[in-house]
A and B are shown apart, each in its own frame.
Chain A
Amino acid sequence: MELLLEQSLQGNQRAYALLLIETSRFLRQFLIKRLNLTHELEDILQEILISLHKARHTYDGCRPYKPWVYAIAKFRLQDYLRVHYSDQLRQAIDFDELEESYCDYSSETALSYESIRVQVQMLPEKQATILRLMHQDGFTAKEVAEKLGMNQSAVKVSAHRAYKILKEKLGR
């Protein structure tokens, strides 16, 4: 690896490619140990490799290579996890909001599903299906989620977006 490093720093593209392949091999092990979300592993690995490339001028070949790589890998992983968990938190906040709006919509008895069927059919297919199942067939969000193979919060978020579109279309 030291030889590859030396050649990479001199601009040898082939040596650099081999070095990155070696690096991605041990980084994959590093990520597997730290991530439950295996489907995200490739994305994070790509981000780390791009970061290593961007920061390669901060490595001079005079100190061990792996600690430098791991420092960047840890940094990118933490960055990713921070974004991931803040997204989850945001989704949880949205979830509270839409619980409220869901109650509002379901209590509006004057507006039946039948009276807005045409507008519902004009919605994106997934949203229209969710509204049909919930308001025409009377399924709960949990049951719709099971039927469509989605999670419950995704169904509620989708329904919430559909309500918003309908509200704008119907001008109320």
Chain B
Amino acid sequence: MGDIEALIIRLAKDNAALQPAPHPVLLSLKWMGVALAYLMLMLLFSGIRPDFSQRLHESWLFAEMLALVVIFITTSFCAALLSFPDLHQMRSMVFAPVVAFTLFMLVLLVAWQADQPPALTPLHSIECTLSITLSALLPAAWTLYQMRKFATTHYGWAGTVALLYAFSVGAIWLRLYEVNDSIMHVLLWHYLPMSIFALVGWWLGKKIFKW
């Protein structure tokens, strides 16, 4: 008996009825549900910025928040797709976060142009990066843990998308909580670190998704 035949017999003996992984849409909805519950909990403790409803109508904040939510949704769905070795045969969808992120950057660029006279830059700086990072740690760990249960064949991209997803939760929370209208500040201390962490995800993915 050849090695392949022996292996097949061994694998067949190990086969039992398995619960197949849910559809990526369901998986993504589940992950988003958990993230939203976490976000609500965070807001419960921190509170929402007092001028939020007013600012939402007056400024570019609405467009920015909307673009952030699009990043949150697309990265969640893309992370679910990337958990499958064949990307659930929806290959073109895995680049959706790139489109969402470009759209987000465009919104910020236009908002920056429209910020005349420029809003006051807050006194704090790195504190925002630290807050986003700390608040994103739990969603990041949870998402990476969930994705590890499957079998991704795109380690780097899966890591990037997972961290972008987790950091979008942190970024949404801080934008809802912090009283700040300076686009320059959010670009430098919120979204630039978020992008850098997404790149770190490429390296992290290669370390933890091996199977």
Contacts and interface: CB of A to CB of B under 8 A. Distances in A.
Contacts of A70: 86
Interface stretch (A4-12, A32-40, A110-118, A158-166): A4-12
B150 interface: yes
A71 B11 contact: no
A42 B4 contact: yes
Q: Most chain-A Cβ atoms within 10 A of its Cβ — which of B11, B18, B86, B89?
A: B86
Interface residues of A, number: 36
A91 interface: no
Interface stretch (A59-67, A92-100, A131-139, A146-154): A59-67
Interface of B is mostly: loop
A75 B20 contact: no
Contact of A17 (B9, B20, B84, B153): B9
B123 interface: no
B44 interface: no
A59 B16 CA distance: 14
B76 to A, nearest CB: 18
Contact of B20 (A49, A51, A54, A61): A61
Which of A8, A14, A17 counts the most chain B CB atoms within 10 A? A17
Given A49-B4, A50-B7, A14 B18 contact: no
Interface of B: 3-5, 7-9, 11-21, 23, 83-89, 150-151, 153, 211
Interface of A: 8-14, 16-17, 20-21, 24, 42, 45-46, 49-51, 53-61, 63-64, 67-68, 70-72, 74-75
Given A11-B16, A70-B86, 15 more contacts: A16-B15, A17-B11, A20-B11, A20-B12, A24-B4, A42-B3, A54-B151, A55-B211, A57-B18, A58-B83, A63-B88, A67-B89, A71-B153, A74-B153, A75-B153
